[in-house]
Amino acid sequence: MKCQNNALHSSRQSPQCVNGLKKYKNSLYTDMLLRDLTNSFSICLSPKENRNCFYFVEPAKDSLENLLSIRTYRWDDYDFDKLLDEITWYLVVNGKAYLEIVLWKNDEGDYVGLSFEPIHSKRSIFFQTKYYFWGENTSGERISFSIDKKRIICFDLKEIGLSRYYFINLFRRIARINILNSTNFIVDSKLQGKYNSEEHIRRNEFLLLKYTKKIFWYGRNGSNQHLSESYLLYRAAHLKLWRKRFLDYLIEKLNDGLKRYKEEVGFEGKIKVKECEYDYLKELERYKSGEINAEQLANMVFC
């Protein structure tokens, strides 16, 4: 499929598809977790003293930065965050996510831009040299299309050590946790059949931490009675480290995809992110040894 926009011609092969997310168990905690996982990496992970230009191209002034600015007057954190958030949302829910690398030319045939198009298909397979996709268009009609392997970036939860069904199963588990759900009330026999709210809350707060221990999420609840001050700081620091590892994976996959077009389009750069000013593992060790106190560590973790 060829698109034309203001005398620019794109190589886009994918049609516009509607939401291709799998069904998942929705709940208050599910919604909170999804939003925390897909909320602007640049805000969560950027150095607090310098939050501008979290994403950048290296080496500086490489033509890649101009190529990535094809949709806007400049390549910025906001637009790139939106792209990464969308990839993360599909990756978390579907276990896989796909991007099409789109090249833009002017009427003279010169390359003037490069963009990424998320593919919202409901089903996909890879066969020989192409990816095949099935989905629905904006009119609700079922459609199928194929795209050359070279143009596709495939993200897979298995590549970061998680099952493709990890989050779907996690959503199902945490959806059962509802402090206000009367069907989960725990009755203490010593209270002669009366509802024991304290025991109900205590049990559900424990289950939330148990179910999410692999990703260190704590439900935005720093007052969880099972979280000591030290354990809260530990989980909060490791949650940031986990998101950084997730971001590093996304950036690595994007750069691997761009590498295929360096010679053809004519650029040398790659996408980079600013490093956090804190090494959280080191700071946790310093806290453990007494070199810093809880307030100092909290200022680093919750900056």
pLDDT digits (tens, 9 = 90+) for 241-266: 999 999 999 999 999 999 999 999 99
In a domain, 270, yes or no: yes
pLDDT number for residue 168: 95
Q: Name the one residue in this structure whose structure tokens are 């109900």.
A: 200
pLDDT band for 217, please (50, 70, 90 cuts).
very high
pLDDT number for residue 2: 44
pLDDT band for 179, please (50, 70, 90 cuts).
low
In a domain, 232, yes or no: no
Instruction: Give the count of domains, the chain.
Output: 1
pTM: 0.90
Pairing of strands 123-127, 130-136: antiparallel
In a domain, 230, yes or no: no
Q: Is the pLDDT of residue 4 over 70?
A: no
pLDDT band for 3, please (50, 70, 90 cuts).
very low
In a domain, 227, yes or no: no
In a domain, 101, yes or no: yes
Q: Is the pLDDT of residue 211 over 90?
A: yes
**Structural domain span for residue 55:** 3-166+247-277
pLDDT number for residue 160: 95
Three-state SS at 97: strand
In a domain, 10, yes or no: yes
Going by the DSSP 8-state scheme, the letter that residue 264 receives in this structure is I
In a domain, 176, yes or no: no
pLDDT number for residue 22: 86
In a domain, 190, yes or no: no
Q: Is the pLDDT of residue 188 over 70?
A: no
Name residues whose C-beta falls within 8 Å of residue 45's C-beta, 6 or more positions apart in sequence. Answer: 54, 240, 243, 244, 247, 273, 276
